[in-house]
């Protein structure tokens, strides 16, 4: 059984992530979407539990996809679970240097680990969790960037003046 891991911060999961997860689910027997920790990033807006819940909500129709979290090295998670493939989405040349470095480091830490890069769909080239958070925090429309299943949750958290938040506050 070929098990692949899609690691990331997923703060929050975007349609760009979802596209990569869906395509990985067609290539591998099982895909573990792994909420992992990026030491180079500031504190996450959404808790680990919230990020997991959002990923579960958007992947509920993908039978061979499961969600997990791990706060150690990705290479150690692979050794522990028997997964041998790391799937990452590549948006642009700017992603490449960092991702290339990660792939080589993970290979050095665990020789069986193969990193597979899937090119992001053209319409998602610009898309990232940070872009979603920035637009949402100004009350902009993020409906084209995240799944409808998690749209209200993100708006509620990031744009406190929306109708949804006012309704939330009234309860
Ligand atoms: O979505 P991100 O923030 O680009 O994902 C980066 C992530 C979380 C996949 C990466 O930082 C990671 O693998 N973290 C786990 C710790 C680890 O193994 N670091 C790499 C050592 S070479």
What pLDDT is recorded for position 167?
57
Q: Which fold has domain 3-125?
A: Rossmann fold (3.40.50)
Residue 90 has pLDDT above 80, yes or no: yes
64 is in an annotated binding site: no
Q: Is the CB of 14 under 6 A from ligand 1?
A: no
Residue 149: half-sphere exposure toward Cβ, Cα within 13 Å: 16
Residue 161 has pLDDT above 80, yes or no: no
Q: What is the pTM of this model?
A: 0.93
Dist. CA 155–CA 63, nearest whole Å? 28
Res. 168 pLDDT band, cuts 50 70 90:
low
Residue 10 has pLDDT above 90, yes or no: yes
Contact predicate 113/75, CB 8 Å: yes
Q: Is the CB of 69 under 6 A from ligand 1?
A: no
Strands (E), the chain: 3-8, 30-35, 65-69, 85-90, 114-119
Residue 125 has pLDDT above 70, yes or no: yes
Dist. CA 37–CA 20, nearest whole Å? 19
Q: Using alpha carbons, select from 64, 67, 47, 45 the residue that is nearest to residue 55.
A: 67
Q: Could you tell me the distance, in angstroms and rounded to a whole number, from the CA of residue 43 to the centre of ligand 1?
A: 14
What pLDDT is recorded for position 166?
56
Residue 170 has pLDDT above 90, yes or no: no
Instruction: Kindly give the number of the ligand 1 atom that is closest to the alpha carbon of 36.
Output: 8
Q: Which of 4, 5, 7 gets mutated to test ligand 1 (max ligand atoms within 8 A of its CB)?
A: 7
Contact predicate 65/28, CB 8 Å: no
Active site residue 17: yes
CA distances from 80 to 38, 71, 73, 110 (A): 20, 13, 11, 11
What pLDDT is recorded for position 149?
97
Res. 159 pLDDT band, cuts 50 70 90:
confident
Residue 5 has pLDDT above 80, yes or no: yes
Q: Is the dihedral of CA 68, 74, 80, 86 positive or negative?
A: positive
Active site residue 91: yes
């Amino acid at each position: 059984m070929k098990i692949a891991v899609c690691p990331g911060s997923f703060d929050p999961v975007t349609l760009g992530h979802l596209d990569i997860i869906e395509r990985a689910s067609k290539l591998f027997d099982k895909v573990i979407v792994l909420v992992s920790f990026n030491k180079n990033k500031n504190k996450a807006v959404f808790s680990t539990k919230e990020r997991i819940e959002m990923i579960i909500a958007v992947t509920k129709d993908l039978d061979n996809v499961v969600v997990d979290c791990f706060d150690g090295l990705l290479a150690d998670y692979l050794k522990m679970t028997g997964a041998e493939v790391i799937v990452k989405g590549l948006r642009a040349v700017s992603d490449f240097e960092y991702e290339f470095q990660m792939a080589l480091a993970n290979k050095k830490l665990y020789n069986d680990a193969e990193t597979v890069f899937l090119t992001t769909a053209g319409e998602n080239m610009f898309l990232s969790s940070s872009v979603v958070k920035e637009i949402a925090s100004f009350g902009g429309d993020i409906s084209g960037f995240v799944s409808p299943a998690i749209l209200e949750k993100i708006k509620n958290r990031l744009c406190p003046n929306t109708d949804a938040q006012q309704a939330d506050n009234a309860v």
